[in-house]
Amino acid sequence: MASQIPVVDYLVLDAEPHLVVNACVACGARFFDRRNACASCAGTEFRREPLGRSGKVRSFTIVHRAAPGVPTPYVSALVDLDGGMTVKSNIVNTDPTPEKVRLGMPVRLTTFVVDSDSRGVECVAFGFEPAN
Amino acid sequence: MSDDIWVLGTHMTKFGRYKDQDLIDLGATAAMGALADGGVHIDDVGIFGCGNLNQSNAGVGQRILKQIGQTGIPVYNVANACATGATAFRTAYLAIKAGECDMGLAVGVEQMGKQGLLGAANRAKRDEKVFEPNGRYGGVLQTEGVLGTGLMPGVFAQAGMEYAYENDGVGFEQFAKVAQKNHAHSVLNPLAHYQKEFSLEEVMGAEMISYPNTLMMCCPTTDGAAAAVLVSGERLRTLSAEQQRRAVKISASVLNSDPWTPSSQVQPDVNTLTRQAADRAYELAGVSPKDLDLVELHDCFATAELIHYDNLSLCERGGAGEWIDKRGPWRDGEIPVNVSGGLLSKGHPLGATGIANIYEVTTHLRGEAGDRQIPDAKVGLTHVIGLGSACAIHILERSGR
């Protein structure tokens, strides 16, 4: 199998791919990016925490006119994960229509190869697909 | 009068696309117009706040003064996303409030041309492609379209759909009704970029940009400038009766940034800071939403306007869908919103927008808005959001006359 790299460092590619956050030890606020300090309480100590792999669609948009080179239409969504935290990603493996994608719809995390580089390393992204 | 700060003069260019005028021409036109409107001279001005976003490193304020009068006053070139103009206005306000001077000039100006979608990041193409984690998220490639969208039509579509998720009676049709209203209003405003009315069916049937925002529900990229002259109450008392009669009181001037909220990392939260800024502005002005005769709010997209009805407490909490359904924000409704045509029709020259809405409300409070005049307007509110985020709210009241 070709070697793989996650599209962002908060995606962990293991037997059960999942997302991780930097959680503030003092107040529990969670962040996807690397931190200088906590935006909620200014604390400076963080720990890594794994996130749930399922959730519900909190909001979505179906993008028809996009940045150059981005295939359309596609669904961008905010997903409330079970166990807490909201994440943005595409809704995949369903038709990009308001009939198929619904507010509150249960979804689960899935991963897919986006591209590979000159060395053959595959970039793996995550998305969410309907859970039912 | 003495503790208050007033709008003495204001002017805006027609919004549109200017091929034969540059940024400095537009800014100078607005500045000179505002000075003339206020009956004062550049020599009277003690501070200049200049708002521009796309050329914000290019000394735009000084270049405008080189055209209209190099009096040696301090210039503050400010950039604050779509709140840039309002921030320039507030810079002049703060200098007067601090007692540094008794008269200030604020200009907002932008030349955008046909810029297309905003927020699209460009990454240079290389022959050799090697995936390496980069930046705060360890990203190995451009994630736009891979991990959702960060482009403006989609971001604000998601903000609207989030409201639809949390509240009943909100959907594509309610968002579309916002655009129908603003395009209908624009017909009466000769300064608007577009002055064309569309039926609800035309709005909903237009090209889908980012569901539920169709083309008619997205603001155009536009060139234009707006300016205001601000004056202390003490100085105003020394001016003519006519200048005092036309002056408009700044009852509240509020600028804030987005406080931390759990979901705001993946989608800018434009609600919390707007709600906080509005509450603060109402408190400072001693005004309630029911007292407002008109509101110019930040309708960069139709979905944005709808959620701000709620954020600004113009409707019942959770009731924005019902409010547009019963025509609450139409010019003959409960609280007229965006009678200028809003950003959707008037256009959105980023740096100019936050002063153009002050121009609009001031013009109504003076009773000088012509065909689009809201009868007997006494109190108005302006609101802008700069994504990332900044919120500016001003409450303006007409003078006692």
Residue spans of the domains in chain A: they are 4-130
CA–CA separation, B37 and B112 (whole Å): 27
Mutate to test the interface with B, among A12, A56, A74, A76 (most CBs of B within 10 A): A76
Any idea where the domains of chain B sit in the sequence?
A: 5-115+222-250, 152-219+251-396
Query: Any CB–CB contact under 8 A between B208 and chain A?
Result: yes
Residues 22-51 of A with CB under 8 A from B: 29-34, 39-40
Nearest residue in chain B measured CA to CA from A41:
B260
B158 contacts A61? CB cut-off 8 A = yes
SS3 B55: coil
SS3 B84: helix
Query: Any CB–CB contact under 8 A between A66 and chain B?
Result: yes
Task: Summarize pLDDT for B169-225 with one digit per residue, the tens.
Answer: 999 999 999 999 999 999 999 999 999 999 999 999 999 999 999 999 999 999 999
CA–CA separation, B52 and B44 (whole Å): 23
**Percent share of chain B, pLDDT over 90:** 91
A60 contacts B158? CB cut-off 8 A = yes
Give the model's confidence band at B239: pLDDT under 50 very low, under 70 low, under 90 confident, else very high. very high
Residues 130-169 of B with CB under 8 A from A: 130-131, 133, 136-141, 143-149, 151, 153-154, 157-159, 161-162, 164-165
Task: Summarize pLDDT for B267-324 with one digit per residue, the tens.
Answer: 999 999 999 999 999 999 999 999 999 999 999 999 999 999 999 999 999 999 999 9
B152-219+251-396 belongs to CATH 3.40.47.10: yes
CA–CA separation, B340 and B348 (whole Å): 12
CA–CA separation, B207 and B229 (whole Å): 41
More confident residue, B401 or B233: B233
Residue A90 has its nearest CB partner, among B130, B137, B146, at: B146
Residue at token pair 């503030």: A24
Residue B149 has its nearest CB partner, among A7, A61, A87, at: A61
Residue A114 has its nearest CB partner, among B129, B146, B161, at: B146
Same fold flag, B5-115+222-250 and B152-219+251-396: yes
pLDDT of residue B114: 72
Tokens representing residue B283 in the block: 């408190």
Query: Any CB–CB contact under 8 A between A98 and chain B?
Result: yes
Q: Which residue(s) pair with B134 in the sheet?
A: B139
Q: Which fold has domain B5-115+222-250?
A: Peroxisomal Thiolase; Chain A, domain 1 (3.40.47)
Chain A residues with CB inside 8 Å of B146's CB?
7, 90, 114, 125
Q: Is the ipTM of this complex over 0.90?
A: yes
CA–CA separation, B163 and B205 (whole Å): 22
Nearest residue in chain B measured CA to CA from A38:
B260
**How far does the CA of residue B130 sit from the closest CA of chain A (Å)?**
5
Give the model's confidence band at B129: pLDDT under 50 very low, under 70 low, under 90 confident, else very high. confident
Give the model's confidence band at B400: pLDDT under 50 very low, under 70 low, under 90 confident, else very high. confident
